[in-house]
């Protein structure tokens, strides 16, 4: 008996695929079927009006070549297909009858035929999904690093301590698990970025090394079907960050509140299909369990999301999650990860009403930090979060103006991929 699939069956599959409109996608869901990774609508706020930049200088009116290069290539080099996922998923709301099931069948076909790589998604040898990231150009890396260095020098001049936290990417530098023919230069990119920051005297904390030093399983810190890490990983990271800021800057944050023993788990089994999993469908890979952590000690917070008009007061469980999203089983309609702190918000303000240590932290971040911030917020009186990654929807105002208003005791940069912090100041 032949092991290959008869050509007639292949022809039927191809015809069905084309008939259902799959010819434009090769592998994954159509735009109308992919989940919205930030499915909560934003109120349109003009952050530049609230936090304006100084009058434009001639150099700002005529951006340098480095600036132009960053703007043209940043997403393609550093964020690569991860960012593409986010941008595409923002537009996907509808579901075409029958198409989802067909695409799951197509995913199953790809799996049984041992296809481990597409243009966007790679199945690692250990069963986790990831994406490939190309090497970045040195000039682009330098321009992005310079934007962080410039803001760091400004803050240090104001005697505000700074720490750049390098979040881990899913591909481990010590065990990349890539199948034959697949590669990712992400760790090479991150090493170059950190080297540039260190040359610019920006203090750094490399959580990739912290994972290795703690002898943890790198891949177990992530969802199998998504590029994000688990909430338990966010708790671990918050403790590492607090310990480092205490050591470097004498912040005196209570790290005992970040012990795993002080939290209980609530697990939603087979509940979450991440961005990469939605691409290949559950026909290719089974959903992840989604586990949240809730403190066993008393808490009292005020959480504000100005873009959504949300201003809530309550304990940790009441204010740190969008429970409607968390409790809705919808593998393709939304990203469950976005239930934590309502996902990627341009500005989030967290006030710990049980803490009187007077410590104020500003966290300039990406989506990984939404799993970190709820726990870090237990250790300080105020924690503000700003997401500067996108011009549309995220914070595009003057960071310096916001910092002058907030007067933080510490500024944390926390990213899995280097981000141009302030485009107006790129040399």
- Separation of CA 104 from chain center: 26
Q: What is the pTM of this model?
A: 0.81
Tokens read off for 26: 């090769």
Q: Which parts of 66-108 are beta strand (E)?
A: none
Sheet strands (E) in 167-208: 204-206
Picking from 130, 121, 133, 125, the residue whose alpha carbon sits closest to that of residue 224 is 130
The pLDDT score that the predictor gives to residue 49 is: 87
**DSSP bridge pairs for 165:** 205, 414
The angle subtended at Cα 342 by Cα 230 and Cα 27, nearest 5°, is 60
Number of domains in the chain: 1
Question: CA 341, CA 269: separation in Å to the nearest integer?
Answer: 21
d(CA 115, CA 109): 9
Spatial distance between the Cα atoms of 237 and 119, rounded to a whole number of angstroms: 31
Of 383, 397, 326, 317, the residue nearest 352 (C-alpha)? 383
Q: Divide the 427 residues of the chain into consecutive groups of 10 and give the mean pLDDT of each group.
A: 47 45 35 36 73 63 50 48 47 49 60 62 95 93 95 96 97 94 93 97 98 97 98 98 98 97 98 93 93 98 96 98 96 94 95 97 96 98 93 81 97 94 54
What pLDDT is attached to residue 203?
A: 98
Q: Report residue 387 as tokens.
A: 């997401």
Distance CA 122, CA 131 (A): 6
Place of tokens 């009006």: 49
φ, ψ of residue 263 to 5 degrees: the values are: -130, 145
**Which residue carries 């089983």 as its tokens?**
329
| Element containing residue 304 per DSSP (H, E) | strand 301-305
Query: What's the angle, vertex CA 117, arms to CA 116 and CA 123, rounded to 5?
Result: 50
The residue segments making up the domain with residue 334 are: 1-427
Which pLDDT does position 19 carry in this prediction? 42
Rounded to whole angstroms, how far apart are CA atoms 89 and 35? 6
CA neighbor of 91 nearest in space, from 146, 23, 31: 31
């Amino acid at each position: 008996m032949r092991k290959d699939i008869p050509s007639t069956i292949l022809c039927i599959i191809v015809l069905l695929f084309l008939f259902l409109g799959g010819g434009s996608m090769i592998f994954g869901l159509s735009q109308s079927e992919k989940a919205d990774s930030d499915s909560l609508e934003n109120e349109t706020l003009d952050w530049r009006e609230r936090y304006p930049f100084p009058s434009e200088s001639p150099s700002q009116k005529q951006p340098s070549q480095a600036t132009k290069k960053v703007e043209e290539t940043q997403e393609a080099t550093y964020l690569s297909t991860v960012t593409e996922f986010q941008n595409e998923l923002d537009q996907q709301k509808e579901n075409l009858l029958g198409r989802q099931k067909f695409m799951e069948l197509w995913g199953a076909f790809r799996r049984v035929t041992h296809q481990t790589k597409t243009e966007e998604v790679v199945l690692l040898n250990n069963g986790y999904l990831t994406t490939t990231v190309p090497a970045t150009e040195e000039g682009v890396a330098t321009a992005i690093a310079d934007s962080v260095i410039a803001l760091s020098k400004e803050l240090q001049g104001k005697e505000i301590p700074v720490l750049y936290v390098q979040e881990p990417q899913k591909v481990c530098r010590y065990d990349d698990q890539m199948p034959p023919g697949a590669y990712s230069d992400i760790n090479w990119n991150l090493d170059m970025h950190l080297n540039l920051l260190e040359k610019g005297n920006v203090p750094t904390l490399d959580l990739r090394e912290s994972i290795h030093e703690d002898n943890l399983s790198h891949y177990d810190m992530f969802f199998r079907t998504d590029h994000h890490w688990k909430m338990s990983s966010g708790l671990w990271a918050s403790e590492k960050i607090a310990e480092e800021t205490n050591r470097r800057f004498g912040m005196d944050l209570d790290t005992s509140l970040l012990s795993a023993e002080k939290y209980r788990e609530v697990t939603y089994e087979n509940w979450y299909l991440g961005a990469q999993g939605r691409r290949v469908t559950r026909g290719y890979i089974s959903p992840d369990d989604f586990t949240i952590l809730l403190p066993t000690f008393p808490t009292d917070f005020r959480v504000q999301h100005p873009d959504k008009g949300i201003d809530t007061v309550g304990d940790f469980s009441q204010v740190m999650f969008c429970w409607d999203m968390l409790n809705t089983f919808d593998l393709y309609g939304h990203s469950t990860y976005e239930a934590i702190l309502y996902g990627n918000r341009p500005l989030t303000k967290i006030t710990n009403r049980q803490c009187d240590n007077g410590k104020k932290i500003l966290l300039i971040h990406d989506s990984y930090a939404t799993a970190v911030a709820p726990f870090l917020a237990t250790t300080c009186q105020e924690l503000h979060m700003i997401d500067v990654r996108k011009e549309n929807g995220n914070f595009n105002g003057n960071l310096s103006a916001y910092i002058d208003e907030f007067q933080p005791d510490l500024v944390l940069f926390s990213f899995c991929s280097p981000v141009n912090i302030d485009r107006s100041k790129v040399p």
